[in-house]
Amino acid sequence: MGSSAEIEAPRSRAAKRRGRPPRIDRDAIARAAGEIPLSDLSLRSVADRLGVSVPGLYHYVQGRDELFALAAEQSVRQLPLPTDRDQHWAVWLYEWAVYIRSAFVSDPGLLKQYIDGAIGVEVMAGNIEAALALCVRQGFPANAAFDAYHLVADCALGAAVSQIREDLARGEGRPFHRELRRILATGEQSLPHLAAVDEAEFEPSSRFRARITTLLIGVAVQGGMAPAEVGALLAALVDSG
């Protein structure tokens, strides 16, 4: 009769063979995809993270495009809203604008997914509702609150595009301000007004906070609120940021 060790070894191997495969579903795939930068995302990287085979993923996602859409939606769900501290509506919207701009700049792939329509409205609805709830509580009609939210979101997204473009240009050694100086120096075009602009204005990051402040003061004026109060509140945030 063989030793107990000889008997136990085959049993251990059989137990390993009979073990259940890792359990996955679309939620697990979405969570795993959301943990991987979009630049590194692939069916293989998600399968490795979950401990399953690539063919196994095809039971739940149809391919790379659907995987990217799941990852983008997961990333958007994880974007933290400003904490509702019953702060002034303009402060909440300012904090939201600064954050979402930063989130898209840090992950340009996420912005591309948003532009391509991969992030469904159902994912964004909760964020919009949170913004509307705070604004309505402070005297906004729902329609005006909705307009204010989208103005701020559009400004932040546009600023993210400008910054991503500038970052790419810097990587190629041709940042906007340097290229503009070169064009002005040649004198080949008559650009007197552009030449009079302070160079600091050409930096996308340096003026975003001031520009979002101007937008929010405009929202206050349009809503018959005190623009000076909004300006003072946001000036303190710009100075601290």
What type of residue sits at position 127? N
Q: What domains appear along the chain, each with residue ranges and CATH number?
A: 4-75 (1.10.10), 81-240 (1.10.357.10)
Question: 154 to each of 55, 164, 238, how far by Cα in Å?
Answer: 40, 15, 19
Q: Does 60 or 14 have the greater pLDDT score?
A: 60
Contact, 66 vs 120, CB < 8 A? Answer: no
Prediction pTM value = 0.72
Q: pLDDT tens digit string along 86-124?
A: 899 999 999 999 988 988 898 888 888 888 777 778 778
Q: With bands split at pLDDT 50, 70 and 90, how would you rate the model's confidence at 15?
A: very low
